[in-house]
Amino acid sequence: MKYNLNIKTKDIILFCWKVIKFIFSAPLLVTNKIAKQLETEELPTGIAGFLKRKAFSAEKLKGIGWGLEVAWIILLLAFVFSGNGSQPTQTTEQRTQSTITTSENKNEDNNIATSVNKINGDLVKVVRVIDGDTIEIEGGEHVRYIGIDTPETVDPRKPVQCFGVEASNKNKELIEGKMVRLEKDITDRDKYNRLLRYVYVSDTFINLELVKQGFAYSYSYPPDIKYQDQFVKAQQEARVAKRGLWNACPAQDQTVTPPDVPSQTETSAPQENSSNGSCLIKGNINSSGEKIYHLPGCGSYSKTQIDEARGEKWFCSESKAQSAGWRKALNCP
């Protein structure tokens, strides 16, 4: 293959070649020139005398020149292939921007850590009360109280239940706009992604206080049962003293159905409302551990759900229910 190069291009290539050749052969050219001048006695007398006293002959200078030439080529090649000559120097502006980015990343990490700490025990502000047992905290997280259940007010699938509005208002009075401390048990979140927590305002245990005053039922949902004994005891005292819902609500509304707050770790749904055909008596266990059976036609029969995982049962006769330790519901005819 032939290249048609004009004279100007050839001159440029030749000039570049000479420059490169000179750069790479500089040590050898210099030493050879000195050696030649030493042979022809063209060197200044002082320099010539010095070289002769040191026993530097022309041949020896040429040998030194070749050594310097090799060393020089190695240095040039090392410089070219190391890339040091082509690496740009970071400007002040770039260094400043890098520092700002690093600082922003650290601030973001600190904000995340702060948010996690607040969720796991530090003080956090309540921005809204959703109902009697659910709140919203700063940052938008929703928190469901552990171990208790209040009458429903906001679930679109259910009617507003007896004492639900009062429970919600009491929760607002106790907690809305205040700084609270959250305590985790075992499960972190429920299937609705709400945080499951015990809640404190100063030394007041809000979950327990709502049960004590008759605004909430005790309800156990394992494995989160750290304070369940306290809740059961508080409910028994509130019931005997007829506080809150225990005085205001009819007996049929005092049978607690499971709150809809299963954790994300559950592996199967509870077996509910599934009899074997002939056994229609529902053996329910309420929030205080009482075993109560409901016959078809009882006031709470239709809304009572049977969760066999909790020990609740279907019975074929009242005698079998009674012998197993269940009593008849008060709202049955």
pLDDT, tens digit, 9 for 90 and up, residues 201-247: 999 999 999 999 999 999 888 889 999 999 999 999 999 999 999 99
Q: Rounded to two decimals, what is the model's pTM?
A: 0.47
Alpha helices in the chain (DSSP H): 7-39, 45-53, 58-82, 92-119, 164-175, 206-212, 228-240, 245-248, 318-323
Q: Output the six-digit token pair for 127.
A: 């921005």
- Per the annotation, the verdict on 95 as an active-site residue is no
Closest alpha carbon to 262 in 217, 198, 196, 306: 196
* CATH number for the domain formed by residue range(s) 114-254: 2.40.50.90
> What is the structure's pLDDT at 148?
95
69, 141, 152, 166: the catalytic one is 152
Q: Clarify whether 152 is annotated catalytic.
A: yes
Catalytic residue among 69, 141, 144, 312: 144
Note if 327 is an active site residue: no
What's the pLDDT at 265? Answer: 38
Sketch the domain layout of the chain as residue ranges.
7-82, 114-254, 281-328
Q: Looking at the predicted structure, is the pLDDT value of residue 286 above 60? A: yes
Active-site annotation holder among 69, 166, 189, 194? 194
CA dihedral angle for residue 21, residue 24, residue 30, residue 35, rounded to 10 degrees? -90
- Nearest C-alpha neighbor of 257 from the set 150, 100, 139: 150
Comparison of pLDDT for 222 and 104, the residue scoring more: 222
Residues 6+ apart with CB under 8 A from 228: 147, 218, 220
